[in-house]
Structure 1
């Protein structure tokens, strides 16, 4: 017989389990437990059909139709599970019929499996509770700088080297600007929150953490208040980099030649905020695929002035400025700052 496990046990043992979301593909895409696989009992169309029967005829008829649909898929369903090694836990929305049916069938086929009690709803409640209880954030090093200084690239390279990093833009799947969703599919708040809580558990034992000085909103999501507030108490690192390098970083990241229509649509949303002759020049550059020129003009006449204004308004305290030629130099300078801070703290403690 399969066993139900609580959300608390799941969190404790998650690293050693394979989680399988048996909900429909669209439900899985909307929100799932990070790292889960999707082996659905119903397709989106089948789920809609069963739901319609439930409303119009009744639960018994819906259950019969659901079993009929699922029976035809059993060989492939079981085969997919047999290919997964180790402990397995299935879940649906509330820990109801779909996960119970899946677990029962797998148990009959001698495939050991657990079922998450309360389904993904219990996981979502756990995530919300974790964020509500968040009252401590480690000392923060906050990366700031004009658009194109490679702050996200720097964070990701630091993370690859083992430094504790909270990459909010990766969690949001959005770059944080009006052009930020180009080539991406932004996450919703539920997915962002789950990824954030998962990452907090990874970085909780470090005495500090790196993140970018973001605004409260990143694409479709809002940054939790504690992270926005901690910016005032963290070490603010401002990165200065030559315009040519910034333009190169943006072109490498956004690849506007692959997303010409999306770039033009995003530009139209800010066009009215730019002085008319310059706006026309930017539009012509985009249309003529002169992307380096378009990016430079956007930086000079839109992003840089806005950034300078916000910096003057919100960063009036102590800050560290590093002037570098490229991302590689910035990473080395930032690592020196961390080492320097450690030495000072050691001297003070001794």
Structure 2
């Protein structure tokens, strides 16, 4: 690959091109694009010192200071990091914030000292980010949006993951969209959520699907939120309601929030995993204390405490069905039932998982929804 500039951001997205981000770690942590790895040309401290020099003495002095700071063993280590990555990802591209001196210098060093030619992004991260924001601000009018709804525990996310026409908003936000929805790993920054969402939209549009299915969410998914234009696009969509019996929903919830969740906590925290999981559930119950009211809050918490103690004594997950039933039947179901009554005119189909899969298959081959 020649040492050129490129601004073909769409192909970078569609090809899932690997990228080397040479910005300082503090910049990368605030937001980067998918498939990018942070191999900085300057550390946070070096960037700060050079930035101060730039403000006080101008560009020439700042550039000279940068070369001085990144020299000798420091420079060798950074070149080796780039070399190692490029051997594994020979088609990777390079960028800094504006496509200016940092990526240009890195590009020159990689060519002159490693003998590897690498293309960098014209306009850098800022130009790429603006491209992705434009995607979010212009929803695809040629694709019909659909929302997948259903009572809590219906397995909506499981169904979405089976469909190539779907975009998993909760997966992109690393959150399950409820008071109990947080994972062990943190959510992405809002910038990273938006960038990943734009990638998903570009890939979806490239396949020319007839519809786009997302879960029936509010704009907020934990700490992340769907940009307004795209949120309005989704909210205008027809609603498909997944119907699942309560007992099956209890089992789906038990597996996700107890069995699988405990396994994840134990993997992350070892022997302390169960107590960490216990804290996560009790804290989640506390978040809805005001909505539950004092007496119900105590009832729900006591039911969970009892289930947890019985699990420890019997080594079985079955006792947790009791507090899950309370939350589904007495808390979430009435709220969703009311929500459905307010959106009856938007319901275009409702039925079992098999019914919905048949309906969606027909849509893919129909001229009109």
- The normalised TM-score by structure 1 is 0.83
Residue 141 to residue 17, structure 1, CA distance change in 2 (3 Å): closer
- Tell me if the contact between 1:90 and 1:103 (Cα under 8 Å) persists in the aligned partners: yes
Q: Of 330, 335, 341, which residue of structure 2 is paired with 1:306?
A: 335
Q: Of 92, 98, 103, which residue of structure 2 is paired with 1:99?
A: 103
Q: Which residue of 2 aligns with 1:133?
A: 138
Partners of 1:5 and 1:64 lie apart in 2 by 23
Q: Which residue of 2 aligns with 1:244?
A: 247
Q: Which residue of 1 aligns with 2:165?
A: 164
Q: Of 208, 213, 221, which residue of structure 2 is paired with 1:210?
A: 213
CA deviations 1:150-194 (Å, max 9, x no partner) are 111110122xxxx31111111222211122223231123222222
- Tell me if the contact between 1:148 and 1:249 (Cα under 8 Å) persists in the aligned partners: yes
Deviation of the 1:91 alpha carbon: 0.8
Q: Of 343, 349, 356, which residue of structure 2 is paired with 1:334?
A: 356
Equivalences for residues 189-208 of structure 1 within 5 A: 189-204=190-205, 205-208=208-211
Deviation of the 1:245 alpha carbon: 2.0
SS at match of 2:355: helix
CA deviations 1:248-291 (Å, max 9, x no partner) are 22233234543222222222121121133321122123334253
- Tell me if the contact between 1:41 and 1:70 (Cα under 8 Å) persists in the aligned partners: no
Residue 228 to residue 95, structure 1, CA distance change in 2 (3 Å): closer
Partners of 2:237 and 2:167 lie apart in 1 by 14
Deviation of the 1:148 alpha carbon: 0.7
- Tell me if the contact between 1:21 and 1:90 (Cα under 8 Å) persists in the aligned partners: yes
Q: Which residue of 2 aligns with 1:187?
A: 188
Residue 16 to residue 75, structure 1, CA distance change in 2 (3 Å): same
Partners of 2:279 and 2:107 lie apart in 1 by 47
Q: Which residue of 1 aligns with 2:152?
A: 147
How many positions carry a matched residue from both structures?
Answer: 335
Q: Which residue of 1 aligns with 2:31?
A: 31
Does residue 63 (structure 1) correspond to residue 92 (structure 2)? The answer is: no
SS at match of 2:120: strand
Partners of 1:317 and 1:16 lie apart in 2 by 36
Partners of 1:293 and 1:61 lie apart in 2 by 68
SS at match of 2:324: helix
- The normalised TM-score by structure 2 is 0.79
Partners of 1:13 and 1:51 lie apart in 2 by 30
Gaps of 5+ in 2: 266-276, 309-318
- Tell me if the contact between 1:142 and 1:234 (Cα under 8 Å) persists in the aligned partners: yes
Q: Which residue of 2 aligns with 1:260?
A: 278
Partners of 2:18 and 2:194 lie apart in 1 by 21
